């Protein structure tokens, strides 16, 4: 079920689900972190208390202080500097009776002044002492009772460890540490250290607020990014998907998505590429339909001639007429065979070129190789035609282009084959290689009759009709195939008659130079 959801859901939904999962995981760790902050801060504060407790215990043992109320009070009074950063320090005896409390030391410090002389105590001074004791009791009850904490410490199984308590008392957060005062492994009493630690709550609250602000900021950024992702990326992609489905289903109501075509980002590039691909597809379909119609028409003519000649041949007894009819039939068969062969080869060439990987090729080397093969073949004919190469303008520069070597050879071969077909005996064909405006230029000139059409571009149409007498040798597809291959290489081809008084045709091919 889960796999099916992620395989069928949209990118936006996946994005939101993954972010939700990430938020949940982050929320769990954040909660654990926040829950651990306060105990850790309390623990660190208690470690400071333990250091003070140990120092106090060392002083008591070093001074050999007896755990009596008078001695404990005098000790706390004389060592107040140890507890400057604390709110309250209390000493209890082993019976859990309070011996001394720093909260009461400020009431009457003069009562702890030592005097060796025995003097009578006036009545008013006795009253003062009574008032001080009452004030001490009131102070004890007005703050909070720590005796219960000492009892809890006494009930612990492991009395070697301190007892740490954190509570909110009288609207203040207290950290309280209880431990024993030992003298050579012997307990002398208990010491309680209390400190107002509101700063811990403030630190926890600050961290909590910071994390919440960060979470809300991240959530807002993700929300904005999700809106942007949906509006500027996912929505156009969905539209393009619907566009491709409409093409597949042959829906007549197909939107062209002009608003996406104008974009200069990757979505715009994808839209333009898809639109060009669609236009090329329709163009290929139209070409295929047109070509199929033209091919049927071209085949129908020789078939009609073939049928008529065969019917006449059956009733003809004259040997001369029979030979002429057989020759017509032979030409028609050659014509049909050539049409089918060239058409099949053209389809194969287009498919092979679309799959082939183009690479850097020196066009002048390709031309030299093909010309050499043609000159070798022409030696065995009686036409005495010579093909000459002129690379003087290159001055040793390589004519590098990006293409498929076999297809470039086919271009040169088809053009030379066409030139040889129209060239008279004892003539020359010139092949010129040059560089023209960042293009590799290939010019082929013959000494034949040239082109008689006013619109010479017609020679590149399929089944061009101005052919030599032996029409069975040509299908009329040669120059059209050459043009298609050149255009697939990003180039162009131009046909013209030779300028001035020169007689013959001139074919110019331009293919972009690859650096």
pLDDT in tens, 225-252: 888 877 777 777 777 777 777 777 766 5
Nearest alpha carbon to residue 88 among 186, 176, 184, 164:
176
- What's the pLDDT at 106? 54
User: Which secondary structure element, helix H or strand E, spans residue 135, and what is its range?
Assistant: helix 123-142
The dihedral region occupied by 437, where left means phi > 0, alpha psi between -120 and 50, and beta the remainder, is left
- What's the pLDDT at 510? 94
Is 431's pLDDT higher than 90? yes
Q: Please state the rounded mean pLDDT for residues 348-368.
A: 81
Q: Please state the rounded mean pLDDT for residues 101-122.
A: 51
Is 492's pLDDT higher than 90? yes
Q: How confident is the model at residue 509 (pLDDT cuts 50, 70, 90)?
A: very high
High-pLDDT (> 90) share of the chain, %: 10
- What's the pLDDT at 488? 82
Q: How confident is the model at residue 135 (pLDDT cuts 50, 70, 90)?
A: very low
Cα separation of 326 and 395, whole Å? 55
- What's the pLDDT at 255? 59
- 360 compared with 136, residue with greater pLDDT: 360
Q: Please state the rounded mean pLDDT for residues 338-353.
A: 71
| Angle between helices 405-422 and 319-355 in degrees, nearest 10 | 150
Q: How confident is the model at residue 130 (pLDDT cuts 50, 70, 90)?
A: very low
- What's the pLDDT at 361? 92
- pTM score of the predicted model: 0.47
- 455 compared with 224, residue with greater pLDDT: 224
Structural domains in the chain?
2-205 (3.30.450.20), 256-355 (1.10.287.130), 358-515 (3.30.565.10)
DSSP category for residue 112 = G
Is 12's pLDDT higher than 80? no
- What's the pLDDT at 476? 63
DSSP category for residue 171 = T
The string of pLDDT tens digits covering residues 390-425 is: 888 888 788 999 988 888 998 999 899 888 888 888
Q: Are strands 505-512 and 439-445 parallel, antiparallel or unpaired?
A: antiparallel
The string of pLDDT tens digits covering residues 47-57 is: 888 888 888 88
High-pLDDT (> 70) share of the chain, %: 79
DSSP category for residue 84 = T
Is 368's pLDDT higher than 50? yes
Is 469's pLDDT higher than 50? no
Is 267's pLDDT higher than 50? yes
Average pLDDT score over the chain: 78
Dihedral sign for Cα 103, 104, 107, 109, please: negative
Q: Are strands 88-92 and 187-196 parallel, antiparallel or unpaired?
A: antiparallel
Q: How confident is the model at residue 107 (pLDDT cuts 50, 70, 90)?
A: very low
> What is the 3-class SS of 181-215, one letter each residue?
EECCCCEEEEEEEEEECHHHHHHHHHHHHHHHHHH
Beta-carbon contacts of residue 386 (< 8 Å; ≥ 6 apart):
375, 378, 427, 428, 429
Dihedral sign for Cα 124, 126, 127, 131, please: positive
Three-state SS at 318 = coil
């Amino acid at each position: 079920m889960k796999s099916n959801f992620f395989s069928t859901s949209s990118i936006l939904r996946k994005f939101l689900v993954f972010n939700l999962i990430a938020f949940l995981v982050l929320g769990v760790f954040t909660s654990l972190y926040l829950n651990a902050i306060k105990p850790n801060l309390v623990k660190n504060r208690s470690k400071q208390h333990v250091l003070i407790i140990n120092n106090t215990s060392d002083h008591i043992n070093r001074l050999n202080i007896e755990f009596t109320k008078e001695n404990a009070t005098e000790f706390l009074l004389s060592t107040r500097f140890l507890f400057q950063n604390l709110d309250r320090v209390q000493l209890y005896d082993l019976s859990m009776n309070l011996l001394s409390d720093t909260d009461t030391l400020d009431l009457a410090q003069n009562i702890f002044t030592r005097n060796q002389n025995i003097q009578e105590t006036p009545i008013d001074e006795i009253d003062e002492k009574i008032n001080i004791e009452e004030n001490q009791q009131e102070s004890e009850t007005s703050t909070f009772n720590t005796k219960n904490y000492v009892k809890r410490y006494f009930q612990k199984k492991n009395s070697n460890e301190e007892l740490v308590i954190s509570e909110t008392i009288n609207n203040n957060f207290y950290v309280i540490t209880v431990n024993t005062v030992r003298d050579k492994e012997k307990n002398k009493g208990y010491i309680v250290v209390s400190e107002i630690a509101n700063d811990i709550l403030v630190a926890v609250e600050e961290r909590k607020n910071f994390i919440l602000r960060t979470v809300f900021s991240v959530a807002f950024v993700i929300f904005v990014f999700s809106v942007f992702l949906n509006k500027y990326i996912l929505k156009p992609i969905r539209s393009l998907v619907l566009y491709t489905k409409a093409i597949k289903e042959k829906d007549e109501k197909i939107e062209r998505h002009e608003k996406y075509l104008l974009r200069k980002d990757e979505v715009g590039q994808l839209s333009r590429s898809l639109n060009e691909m669609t236009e090329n597809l329709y163009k290929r379909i139209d070409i295929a339909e047109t070509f199929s119609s033209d091919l049927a028409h071209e085949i129908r003519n020789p078939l009609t001639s073939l049928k008529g000649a065969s019917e006449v041949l059956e009733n003809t007894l004259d040997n001369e007429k029979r030979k002429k009819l057989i020759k017509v039939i032979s030409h028609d068969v050659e014509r049909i065979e050539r049409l089918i062969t060239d058409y099949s080869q053209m389809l194969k060439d287009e498919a092979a070129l679309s799959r082939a990987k183009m690479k850097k090729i020196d066009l002048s080397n390709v031309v030299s190789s093909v010309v050499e093969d043609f000159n070798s073949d022409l030696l065995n004919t009686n036409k005495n035609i010579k093909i000459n190469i002129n690379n003087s303008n290159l001055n040793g520069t390589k004519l590098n282009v990006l293409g498929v070597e076999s297809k470039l050879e086919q271009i040169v071969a088809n053009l030379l084959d066409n030139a040889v077909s129209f060239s008279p005996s004892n003539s020359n064909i010139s092949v010129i290689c040059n560089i023209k405006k960042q293009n590799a230029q290939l010019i082929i000139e013959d000494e034949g009759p040239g082109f008689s059409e006013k619109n010479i571009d017609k020679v590149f149409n399929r089944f061009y009709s101005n052919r030599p007498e032996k029409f069975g040798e040509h299908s009329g597809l040669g120059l059209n195939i050459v043009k298609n291959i050149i255009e697939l290489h990003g180039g162009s081809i131009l046909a013209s008659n030779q300028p001035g008084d020169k007689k013959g045709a001139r074919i110019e091919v331009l293919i972009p130079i690859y650096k």
